[in-house]
Amino acid sequence: MTTLIDGKATAALIKKEIAKEVEDIVAKGGKRPHLAAILVGHDGGSETYVKNKVIACEECGFKSTLIRFEDNVTEEELLAKVDQLNKDDDVDGFIVQLPLPKHIAEQKVIEAIDYKKDVDGFHPINVGRMSLGLPCYISATPNGILDLLERYNIETSGKKCVILGRSNIVGKPMAQLMMQKRYPGNATVTICHSQTKNIKEECLEADIIIAAIGCPNFLTADMVKPGAVVIDVGTTRVPDNTKKRGFRLNGDVKFDEVAPKCSFITPVPGGVGPMTICSLMKNTLAARKKLYYK
């Protein structure tokens, strides 16, 4: 029997828990958490993602601020706005939505963000603390996956976990987290990527596969052993004339053929995606409460 991991329902539950805590804070005279987002240009995926973040803020009882720039904003102008948000005591945390235009150095912008307000968890200080198992903001997608594993009581200790993809946002932090001496974690982790020669064999040995390679339908049934847990992070826009928007979201997993072999699997959409935004809300609440940094 395959259990479908419902990220949408899990995220809704967590947001209700956050909203309850926020109302308790406000009832005691405290300040509402405040999340700000900088959006550069009009990339369709980024527009949708930021819109969903604003909606999530409303659901959680947060104050939110959206700051927009056109594609031609200079790096200097963007860094000046980052500095302003760093110094704004009312803003608990903020994000700069990626990707940025090619003329702006993304890493330079990430490092300019005050790590104490870096609720995306991308700053080198937060990445370093995460790798050491110290309290910090953990990047949203990996943190959301941990929540799903925990809330579905999926055993991870001693299991072989294969991660497809080595991005700084998902693959690398996911590997670090699954190795930590905690639950979920304590797994034996292998990272596979475009240069891995024996991906199929590695996947066939895996108890848990986390697919974050950005290639639609990459993981097929002949790569998955019976009873495996499959987490699909892929969200590629594939043209589809039957959809109102003219496209559909496609995961990295060939869902229809892989799902019957799994003990647990996430769908796309409705799996990891909603948990990513939910994790950002958790990080913002942690920033408001100064859980990790004073």
Tokens read off for 267: 């769908």
Annotated active-site residue 117? The verdict is no
Taking the C-alpha atoms of residue 254 and residue 219, their distance in angstroms, rounded to an integer, is: 6
Query: Of the residues 53, 81, 116, 172, which is catalytic?
Result: 53
Active-site residue 120, yes or no? yes
**97 given a catalytic annotation:** yes
Annotated catalytic residue, options 118, 120, 147, 232: 120
Q: Copy the structure tokens of residue 218.
A: 């990459």
Paired with 68 in beta bridges are 39
Dihedral of the alpha carbons of 102, 273, 44, 117, in degrees to the nearest 10: -50
Burial letters 172-200, b for 16+ CB under 10 A, else e: bbbbbbbbbeeebbbbebbbbeeebeebe
Computed over its alpha carbons, how large is the radius of gyration of the chain? 19
Selected catalytic residue, list 81, 97, 172, 282: 97
Active centre residues (catalytic): 53, 97, 120
